[in-house]
A and B are shown apart, each in its own frame.
Chain A
């Protein structure tokens, strides 16, 4: 028995150890992943050539010499000058003699190592998308209630008929002269009921329609270029902020200017992805032809140099429209509030054409403000809310619910309307 115990203990400890190791390993790789996404993904993918080469197996190609690789990443130009690496020179020539961005001062050695570790390990296979898989779809009882109402209505109608028939019979019996029988659609009671019902239903529908005026959940306009977020942000995993750079600084996330598109599309002039592209009507879209449309706006002929000053703007159709009297700031939500893009824009990485995910109504905003916690302990700004800190400590305030946006005034009028 005792022996058995020991074995269990050993197994438990080793399982714990393995778990811990894999978790900590995962954390490192996660770091590498986010660094990769932030700094490299705009020009490199793991498994295919973009502006730069595919990075899978990069260390093998550099013969495991991380020191050289570091120097190259930090400053390609100076590495080329100081070393005589034949592979580096060939690589440089292969990619049109364009040097990489300088990362000296942007990334330190440890971070570069993290990125290289991540590349070595490769992206982990996703088990479940966003962990929501287990959640049951909300059951819809409307049909059931409808049927029930209908049955009850029929029963009521029958009973009323029976009642009137019985009354008639008893009247006959007692000799009271019967009134001229009236068919039920000419019966005033029925007509009154009908009108009341109509007014209620009509009123409800009108009010609902009026509230919905100007709301466009599910809006998918046709854009001048069939731009697929699925291909860019999903399959190729380009960081959202590479294109929507204003999201950290401005109220607008900003649609990228043509020169940002051309950073990559100077090299990528045809669509070679395996995923087929479909528009909202379900027709297949030719990706290469869409890239040609971009070239037209950019005033670019493949093979010739690109002059950004000759480009013309692309007249995209705006999808997410807020009324003029609403102030919304992207940087507030992304930087201070640490919100994900997907919270409001939905599974953008799976959309070929962007669809308005939320109805962008005030109720929708307010709901989120009621439920979402602010970065109360993490952000130094909130240190001035001494009372809340005390309440959290003393347990007066529910620490699982935490300090929501509402608690700091996030549902007050002049937080969004001024």
Chain B
């Protein structure tokens, strides 16, 4: 097993790394930091004074008088609400075109958690970090609370009255992609009423290149369905389909199906990624090759030629090897292959289409019968609009003044329009320029529908009464059209006509999804026209390859095009690739760091200086006459001559308190670096100037926060990885490896019994266990946010993350491995409390606040904890979290949290606190907390079974689930399986049995007997490589 490392300090085994391994709590304690406090002396009298005061204060706080509490029932209880019991309503997460079918958990009238909808044929119960976090947006204090005219509060009646005359001339509805059939009907009615009106769609992240290419090649201006589950060979060229590209939840789910292994028949898909800066998809690929953004054309052309038998001839030899490998894999897959490309250049996409035709993907992994409806906007429509005369602009969920490349031009354009109306939840960068601001419902307050893909319908229903004076835009348009029916009426009429008698409206609303029967079986493959290919090839061949430093703009998994910046959960979620929180930064490769920053990561002192200090060097980036300053992070897996900046930052303060840090907007708006070429947006810049400044800026990196290691080093007991060839050659490699590790303690066979001085305790009845397939996990972070939402995990703010005080119960560790430190292999490992049966934390607690249950849970009792932190010290996995401050304002004393970040204060507003789960204690200052295996869900599931007088069911043979833990429920790839291990027929037992030859426990040799098992990561790397190694 090869060495895995988390940081360069670890790779080089530096002094600072060694030191940090010894130090449990890396944050400096306040009195050490101040210095002055340590020097002061506390005389005996002072001590007595303090003692007296605290005793008196405690007595006062506890107060002998018991407060009188009221218990106020409903005056008239609604029939379907039982206080204390959650209701679940199927609805659809819709944000800027993204659509995921979900189920909202509503407790006592408040939506508090989003779960995936298992009935959805597209996402099948999967979610993403952003879907999970969307419930917090409902309670966002930055939402507009009432409609305004020119900044003054107005009523809807007043606005309707004024607009009856004000709407006129050339009317334009500018919206993000609308995939709701009934809403399109509403727009159609509106357009019919106003003769000179039109509807233009505009997406922040444009896919016009694909749309235009498909129109030329297939006569369909649409994005087909990509069937990653059918693909045995996948080549992605700059398409982050696991993180941000088109429909990541759907693709991640399908991709994982091809990656899951069966011990009896070890077959898995092979994925080769070409990319410019490190992305989630590239990190998960079996092999990754790096190229410049301007080399995309050459890579795509080279791949087409290689498939047709011509050897690629690029200047970068590594790329030639990659292209040959890719071509070989694609051809070998015999049609079950797929090439996807993230470029927005039509010509590139035409050549990609030609490649997919050449390998026979069309009809097998690409389905034009069912097209994806979530991205339909064409850039040229918008560029044309900017130059046309508009009298009335109706802005709908789109924000071009922030997301368009030439944002100043958009600003001036909007300012020049006579009547400007914005439908938006917040007064964002474009809406604030509009005269009429009409706030919208959150999706959890809305009615609606969505046709996510052809004939795959999903429905929205309100889960709470509107919190503010808001109105659905469909209602507004209908009013202005003069319709007497409101949107709900229109929606019902629309669907009663569409649904047969068998599918009543109530039924589809309850299910949340509907696919007509018989489903549209994707027919014969779409007819390909090769007419445009030659022209495209010529254009690409002529495209110059830059010799300068290039810039790639990319989306972060959590932030997207900027929707996540105002959400504290998403801002605090460590980015899977960089492991940074709260900030925007420039990504550079280790090679460039040497030149630009004078940091050589191979040099121990310099690596330590970079990694230990949170303050990073700041670089000035200049391109196209625009300049921004950003801190620099060194991320391997980035091309040596390419830098990357995430879009979505530099937002206006109107969108929320989380976008502001120390009175300044976090990061910079990177959209301004995008260029418009041939009417399409290009998210790369071929020539940027970088200059190092003397400034330093702290970035909250969590990568090195929880280090643990073992005597053997190399982390082989923590993380196991092998290649498919190795697995086929020796199916028992992992088992043999474990045997070797455990040999001093009795070997695999006798280890459980002999390896300890403690006796084994019975687990009658239930024993909880979790199994995580590292082949399926892609590190997307949905589980991290789901865990925070379910368990009331506090947001601590950037300042606290910098002090190593992050609180997430579940973290996804990123490991590097391989010889090439500039382009290492990456593997992700979700790590939460392992609920060890022989837990080292339990032995050291002086007050028995943490102990073991007969169901195998490592229990944490907050009200017993006195905060010695011995347990955290003794935990080998570093998964215990200490409440350094009163993050949740749970103390009796009011001002314990006043010095925390504004984002933390925001989380504690009455409105925001409505998102808290009432079944989970809100922790106060001074106690340890950690993953509880969602014990509230376990108890609820057991009670369900007890009430029905039947054994508990956790998947497996019965297929029924009495409970799913939050991370398991949210996982788009079903990488996490949880259940009763004592039940040999449960899903978790089956999972462990099926993959017995890949199963391992992290740090097993410590004999702590964890209850979370992992399935070793298997990489599908070519046979030759393995043979070469063997020889």
Question: What residues make up the interface of A, taking CB atoms closer than 8 Å to B?
Answer: 213-214, 216, 221, 245-246, 249-252, 254-260, 297, 308-309, 311-318, 321, 323-325, 327, 329, 331-332, 335-336, 378-388, 408-409, 412-415, 417-418
Q: Known contacts A246-B82, A417-B863; decide if A316 and B70 are in contact (CB<8 Å).
A: yes
Could you tell me the distance in whole angstroms from the C-beta of A192 to the nearest C-beta in chain B? 24
Q: Known contacts A254-B82, A329-B943, A387-B762; decide if A413 and B76 are in contact (CB<8 Å).
A: no
Q: Known contacts A252-B84, A380-B951, A384-B766; decide if A257 and B921 are in contact (CB<8 Å).
A: no
Is the Cβ of A216 less than 8 Å from the Cβ of B71? no
* Chain B residue nearest to A262 in the complex (CB): B76
Interface bits B948-991 vs A (CB < 8 Å: 1, else 0):
11111000000000000000000000000000101100000000
Q: Known contacts A332-B943, A379-B946, A417-B921; decide if A254 and B72 are in contact (CB<8 Å).
A: no
B163 within 8 A of A: no
Is the Cβ of A309 less than 8 Å from the Cβ of B854? no
Instruction: Identify which of A245, A323, A336 gathers the most chain B CB atoms within 10 Å of its CB.
Output: A336
B503 within 8 A of A: no
Q: Which of A245, A308, A314, A381 is in CB contact (< 8 Å) with B72?
A: A314
B110 within 8 A of A: no
Complex contacts, B832 vs chain A, CB 8 Å: none
Q: Which of A252, A259, A317, A378 is in CB contact (< 8 Å) with B68?
A: A317
* Chain B residue nearest to A403 in the complex (CB): B764
Q: Which of B70, B765, B935 is in CB contact (< 8 Å) with A318?
A: B70
Complex contacts, A378 vs chain B, CB 8 Å: 949
CA A332 to CA B853, docked complex, whole Å: 19
Complex contacts, B861 vs chain A, CB 8 Å: 413-414, 417
CA A216 to CA B65, docked complex, whole Å: 11
B435 within 8 A of A: no
B857 within 8 A of A: yes
Complex contacts, B945 vs chain A, CB 8 Å: 381
CA A388 to CA B764, docked complex, whole Å: 8
Could you tell me the distance in whole angstroms from the C-beta of B64 to the nearest C-beta in chain A? 7
Q: Which of A246, A254, A255, A408 is in CB contact (< 8 Å) with B765?
A: A408
Q: Which of B73, B764, B950 is in CB contact (< 8 Å) with A381?
A: B950
In chain B, positions 65-85 with a C-beta closer than 8 Å to chain A are 66, 68-77, 82-85
B901 within 8 A of A: no
Closest CB pairs A-B (n = 10): A250-B84, A318-B71, A336-B946, A257-B74, A414-B859, A257-B77, A252-B84, A308-B76, A255-B73, A311-B75
Is the Cβ of B73 less than 8 Å from the Cβ of A250? no
Q: Which of B62, B72, B82, B860 is in CB contact (< 8 Å) with A250?
A: B82
Is the Cβ of B72 less than 8 Å from the Cβ of A313? yes
Complex contacts, B765 vs chain A, CB 8 Å: 382, 384-385, 408-409
B864 within 8 A of A: yes
Is the Cβ of B83 less than 8 Å from the Cβ of A414? no
Is the Cβ of B73 less than 8 Å from the Cβ of A256? yes
CA A221 to CA B71, docked complex, whole Å: 12
Complex contacts, B855 vs chain A, CB 8 Å: 409
Complex contacts, A312 vs chain B, CB 8 Å: 75
Complex contacts, B766 vs chain A, CB 8 Å: 384
In chain B, positions 694-747 with a C-beta closer than 8 Å to chain A are none
Is the Cβ of A259 less than 8 Å from the Cβ of B863? no
Interface bits B39-77 vs A (CB < 8 Å: 1, else 0):
000000000000000000000001010101111111111
Is the Cβ of B919 less than 8 Å from the Cβ of A327? yes
B942 within 8 A of A: yes
Complex contacts, B863 vs chain A, CB 8 Å: 323, 325, 417
Is the Cβ of B76 less than 8 Å from the Cβ of A418? no
Complex contacts, A408 vs chain B, CB 8 Å: 764-765, 854
Is the Cβ of A258 less than 8 Å from the Cβ of B66? no
CA A327 to CA B949, docked complex, whole Å: 22
Is the Cβ of A317 less than 8 Å from the Cβ of B74? no
Q: Known contacts A258-B76, A412-B853; decide if A324 and B66 are in contact (CB<8 Å).
A: no
Complex contacts, A331 vs chain B, CB 8 Å: 943, 947
The interface on chain B, measured as residues whose beta carbon lies within 8 A of the other chain's beta carbons, has a size of 53
Is the Cβ of A381 less than 8 Å from the Cβ of B942? yes
CA A314 to CA B72, docked complex, whole Å: 6
B920 within 8 A of A: yes
Complex contacts, B524 vs chain A, CB 8 Å: none
Complex contacts, A327 vs chain B, CB 8 Å: 919, 936, 939
B851 within 8 A of A: yes
CA A216 to CA B66, docked complex, whole Å: 8
Q: Known contacts A252-B83, A385-B765, A415-B939; decide if A315 and B853 are in contact (CB<8 Å).
A: no
B794 within 8 A of A: no
In chain B, positions 421-446 with a C-beta closer than 8 Å to chain A are none
B862 within 8 A of A: yes
B932 within 8 A of A: yes
Please name 8 further chain A to chain B contacts, defined as beta carbons within 8 Å, in addition to the given A221-B68, A384-B982, A413-B851, sorted by A numbering. A316-B70, A318-B69, A318-B71, A380-B949, A384-B980, A415-B853, A415-B939, A418-B921
Complex contacts, B951 vs chain A, CB 8 Å: 380-381, 383-384
Could you tell me the distance in whole angstroms from the C-beta of A36 to the nearest C-beta in chain B? 25
Could you tell me the distance in whole angstroms from the C-beta of A318 to the nearest C-beta in chain B? 4
Complex contacts, A313 vs chain B, CB 8 Å: 72-75
Could you tell me the distance in whole angstroms from the C-beta of B194 to the nearest C-beta in chain A? 40
* Chain B residue nearest to A408 in the complex (CB): B765
* Chain B residue nearest to A329 in the complex (CB): B943
Is the Cβ of B75 less than 8 Å from the Cβ of A316? no
CA A409 to CA B935, docked complex, whole Å: 14
In chain B, positions 816-868 with a C-beta closer than 8 Å to chain A are 851, 853-855, 857, 859-864
Is the Cβ of A314 less than 8 Å from the Cβ of B920? no
Could you tell me the distance in whole angstroms from the C-beta of B730 to the nearest C-beta in chain A? 38
CA A249 to CA B943, docked complex, whole Å: 10
Complex contacts, B762 vs chain A, CB 8 Å: 387
Instruction: Identify which of B62, B82, B922, B948 gathers the most chain A CB atoms within 10 Å of its CB.
Output: B82
**18 A-B pairs, CB-CB below 8 angstroms?**
A213-B64, A214-B66, A246-B85, A251-B85, A252-B83, A252-B84, A254-B83, A317-B69, A317-B71, A324-B922, A325-B863, A327-B939, A336-B943, A379-B949, A408-B854, A412-B859, A415-B853, A418-B939
Complex contacts, B82 vs chain A, CB 8 Å: 245-246, 249-250, 254
CA A57 to CA B47, docked complex, whole Å: 81
Interface bits B277-321 vs A (CB < 8 Å: 1, else 0):
000000000000000000000000000000000000000000000
Could you tell me the distance in whole angstroms from the C-beta of B827 to the nearest C-beta in chain A? 32
